[in-house]
A and B are shown apart, each in its own frame.
Chain A
Amino acid sequence: MSSNGARATQRDRPWIMRTYAGHSTAKASNELYRTNLAKGQTGLSVAFDLPTQTGYDPDHVLSQGEVGKVGVPVSHIGDMRGLFDQLPLDQMNTSMTINATAPWLLALYIAVAEDQGVDRKLLQGTTQNDLIKEYLSRGTYIFPPAASLKLTADVVAYTVNEVPKWNPVNVCSYHLQEAGATPVQELAYALATAIGLLDTVRAGGQVSEDQMPQVVGRISFFVNAGIRFVEEMCKMRAFTELWDRITHERYGVENPKFRRFRYGVQVNSLGLTEQQPENNIIRIVLEMLAVTLSKDARARAVQLPAWNEALGLPRPWDQQWSLRAQQILAYETDLLTYADIFNGSDVVTDRVRKMVEEASQEIEDIQARGSVVEAIESGYLKQRLVESNAERLRAIERGEQVVVGVNKYLEGADSPLMTDRDSAIMTVGSGVEQEAIAAIKTWREQRDGAAVEKALAELREAVKRGGNVMPPSIAAAKAGVTTGEWAQALREVLGEYRAPTGVAGARVSEGEGDSQKTVEGLRARMDVLEKKLGRRPKMLVGKPGLDGHSNGAEQIALKARDVGFEVVYEGIRVTPEQLVASALEEGVHVIGISILSGSHLELVPQVVERAREAGIASVPIVVGGIIPVSDARRLENSGVARVYTPKDFELNTIMGDLVELVQSSAEA
């Protein structure tokens, strides 16, 4: 570690402050970026919509309800141009949260830079491009793991020479914590991912051995910081220490500069609550401390969620409030005038050492399974996360883990921020999807069809050959190929993947006390219900659309199993038609749908309608997720039996409802 505890004479440069943003159209998002920069934000962080992330054009059936919702749709070079209109790319530092289609979005970015007359060597920014955590948490993967790693390695190999200031991969532990990971799991799984990636790059032969230090130096991380901020701060120091060791021992990197653990942060969002949501801003600030206080392990870039995280998408004001928190910490306080304030602390040293030990052990365990790819394919890692998340939820449900406003200190004055709940979030106009569909049709008509075909053929050929995906992708970008076409070409060659869900084998420890009594009570009611029905009550749990938020569905499925349901777990990315076909074929007594991405008004009524057509209208349908109050009423009016949101954190209560629903529909 570099500093020696002496007081620094000069103020340090603050970290890069970003706001994760993008919605509706390239044009609308471009305006948003320009206002954000004017407010003092120092880097861009692009949120793409789910079709763009999963490689579909706006007019694909799976894109229904998702176009422009949770991010900006970028379907071709025209959209990318619009997104960065009047934003000179040689002066931007752009972080793109893009994974399966990362090579493609980077290709579009490079093509637009060339349009603007900017040398690609000057481009600065990050493509997230970590597919391992997509299988484990985020859900926007397309191809099988080994093929995905190869594509990531291609981007690394290409940028190291061609776009040397670019961070080709942001290895993510952020999403692991959001899926329930403990600090040690976060450390171990993310570092095992980095190892898997670097091993792939090294074995791929695209970069020479003496370039490996530069390659290692380009790998950055995207980390989480939860509410236990002392432990989290120690985690950052543990990361720094472990990465320094791994890069030295495993990859022989001598230059300490290339061994630095460079990381950006989004602080924890999983713990942000729907109840008393104004408290969230306090949680966010405390979490920010974890990644800023220790100079030796300070984040390079920080983005914060907003106080209304659990309600829906943030409005500009909500994001601005979080940005102000960063600015106050960086510019008003004295934080940036000191050297590391924890060096020499026994408490910190000890905590870090323990974490390093435990994480090293876990990394060894993963390596013993072959590699991170095998640990993905076997479902091992995913199952561990599902189990950790179950423990977390259980601790909250039983009050062992205090969450203010949720399981303690519930009484209080009403928040003025919440007087109009429906307008306390940003909503995307319903015309956006139709507009995008019309626009892409026009785009396809106006481009040179032959050039597109040729570019796609060359892309397919290159991927089949095992060549680097970037050059043909850049050519395809310039020829006017669309995101859906690029991804389809690769799907044809590499195949598609459905990742293990981790729920089937997940073990959850049985507790004791009141909550366990409730569980026993539910089991007894289930036994009675079984006698009545003649067979075990059976439940279908699935997620229609492109939404990858699987936590809720997983935990509902596990809990339902543990109170005695037979649960058919469908996982993510199924169509309403598939859900209904499954419900019919499996003979379930209740259909459970989970949607958090905001497409519930488009997708849920389709399930209801198709269930009616299939003759299973009597099977109750329940829905959970981020569902604004007025939407919940609409769904209930359209035939949904119950709607749940994050405030319904007591799984036992939900289970009680389900038992009752099945019971009353059996009596009907």
Chain B
Amino acid sequence: MSEADPAALAERIAAAEKAAVAQALNLIEDRRQRSQGRIEALLGRLRERAGMQRVGLTGPPGGGKSTLTAALARELRERGDTVGVLAVDPSSTRSGGALLGDRARMSFDPADQGLFVRSLATAGDTGGLAYAAHAVTEVLSAAYDRVVIETTGVGQTETDVEHVADTICLVIQPGSGDVLQFIKAGIMEIPDVLVVNKGDHGALAQRAASDLAGALDALRGVGMAEAGDDWRVPVLVTSARDRTGIDALVDTLDAHRAAQGAAGQRERRREGETHWTLSLLLRRHGEHGLEVLGGRTEVAGRIRAALDAGAIPIAVSADLGRDYLRRVASAGID
């Protein structure tokens, strides 16, 4: 495949040209050293679409996230927004292979230029999000009005989706008692929106929803629910199958974006970028790297400052990496 000029590619991505988005994602996933410069050049040139929103759908397996993603995408398209979907699949075997099955659950109009779906394997990464997920999100954010990220995870297994999404929806199905327990026990981070899918199960779904609402109230009582005070985590009931409750979900996403405000969104993204930069560094140079560079807090501070000054994560981590290597060389540490 031809190696497109990053600047030209960035322009075509801004025009949401599918072939360009696809090509950029192929590049982003490329781990060869020789591609890193081009990746950096591309990411440096991307501008996310004004007012765009990144929505994370997470939750236990089989809750209906893929089906809901498809329904959500359809509703968003009907409202005129373009949509990029990233489906992150945890299934990977020791062969390094993976079966990316989410796509089969979504049926889309292939002629629609305003909708793009990409599957990504976690390829052994823990945390539920693949190595490339942040960068993929950056690319999709430059092309589409909303980016929906689907990832599996719940409870103690940490879900990294919080580091890429502006709005996190936890999707569960009726009868997911364990999720309720996790929330009650404070084991699980509270998402921005709670969705009880499979609402077509009727009374069962309504009961699950009111149980969740009750649990949230209890947590609010002890000051453990929402972080900010201008957002009250809503509990929604949807049926991805019958496509009910989807318009309310979109309204809620809009409301969360409004409540979060541009500054709030920027802050959350910055935190996510900081985390990502740190994990890029860790992936390359490990704990030793952190140590040499002055420890986690010190490094996080440097990252934050660099990002605030306008640098992009991948470049910041590369800089830090070079610094690390310099220090190692000059100090002659093992």
Chain A residues close to B by CB (< 8 Å): 144, 378-379, 495, 498, 500-501, 503-506, 523, 526-527, 530-531, 533-536, 557-558, 560-571, 575, 577-578, 580-582, 584-587, 614-615, 618
29 pairs, CB–CB < 8 Å, chain A vs chain B: A498-B107, A500-B105, A504-B101, A505-B101, A526-B96, A527-B96, A533-B30, A534-B29, A535-B29, A562-B93, A564-B95, A564-B96, A565-B97, A566-B100, A568-B100, A569-B99, A569-B100, A569-B101, A578-B110, A581-B108, A582-B117, A584-B22, A585-B21, A585-B116, A586-B22, A586-B117, A586-B119, A587-B25, A618-B1
- Are A495 and B242 interface neighbours, CB within 8 A? yes
B179-211 residues at the A interface, CB under 8 angstroms: none
Which residues of A have CB within 8 Å of B123? 536
Query: Which one of B91, B107, B111 contacts A505 once the chains associate, using CB atoms below 8 Å?
Result: B91
Q: With the chains together, A645 CA to B246 CA distance in Å? A: 44
Q: With the chains together, A568 CA to B18 CA distance in Å? A: 18
B96-130 residues at the A interface, CB under 8 angstroms: 96-101, 103-105, 107-108, 110-111, 116-119, 121, 123
Q: Mark B5-36, 1 if CB is under 8 A from A, else 0.
A: 00000000000001101110110011110010
Which residues of A have CB within 8 Å of B25? 587
Which residues of B have CB within 8 Å of A570? 103-104
Which residues of B have CB within 8 Å of A536? 96-98, 121, 123
- Shortest C-beta distance, B149 to chain A (Å), equals 15
Q: With the chains together, A615 CA to B96 CA distance in Å? A: 28
- Are B104 and A571 interface neighbours, CB within 8 A? yes
Q: With the chains together, A561 CA to B62 CA distance in Å? A: 21
Q: Mark B124-160, 1 if CB is under 8 A from A, else 0.
A: 0000000000000000000000000000000000000
- Are A569 and B104 interface neighbours, CB within 8 A? yes
Chain B residues close to A by CB (< 8 Å): 1, 18-19, 21-23, 25-26, 29-32, 35, 62, 89, 91, 93, 95-101, 103-105, 107-108, 110-111, 116-119, 121, 123, 241-242
- Shortest C-beta distance, B21 to chain A (Å), equals 8
Which residues of B have CB within 8 Å of A564? 95-97
Q: With the chains together, A504 CA to B25 CA distance in Å? A: 23
- Please name the residue on chain A nearest to B132 by beta carbon: A535
Q: With the chains together, A450 CA to B103 CA distance in Å? A: 41
- Are A563 and B103 interface neighbours, CB within 8 A? no
Query: Which one of A504, A523, A563, A577 contacts B110 once the chains associate, using CB atoms below 8 Å?
Result: A577
Which residues of A have CB within 8 Å of B105? 498, 500
- Please name the residue on chain B nearest to A558 by beta carbon: B99
Q: With the chains together, A526 CA to B98 CA distance in Å? A: 13
Which residues of B have CB within 8 Å of A587? 22-23, 25-26, 29, 118
- Are B97 and A566 interface neighbours, CB within 8 A? yes
With A536-B121, A536-B123, A569-B99 already in contact, the answer to whether A378 and B62 are too (CB < 8 A) is: yes
- Please name the residue on chain B nearest to A503 by beta carbon: B99
Q: With the chains together, A380 CA to B35 CA distance in Å? A: 42
Q: With the chains together, A536 CA to B118 CA distance in Å? A: 15
With A535-B29, A535-B30, A585-B18 already in contact, the answer to whether A504 and B91 are too (CB < 8 A) is: yes
- Please name the residue on chain B nearest to A502 by beta carbon: B101
Which residues of B have CB within 8 Å of A578? 108, 110
Which residues of B have CB within 8 Å of A527? 96
With A534-B29, A584-B18, A585-B117 already in contact, the answer to whether A567 and B241 are too (CB < 8 A) is: no
Which residues of A have CB within 8 Å of B98? 536, 561, 566-567
Given contacts A495-B242, A523-B96, A577-B111, 13 further A-B contacts (CB under 8 A): A527-B96, A534-B30, A558-B99, A561-B95, A561-B97, A562-B93, A563-B95, A567-B97, A567-B100, A568-B100, A581-B111, A585-B21, A585-B22
Q: With the chains together, A615 CA to B4 CA distance in Å? A: 14
- Shortest C-beta distance, B72 to chain A (Å), equals 16
- Shortest C-beta distance, B110 to chain A (Å), equals 4
Q: With the chains together, A608 CA to B107 CA distance in Å? A: 21
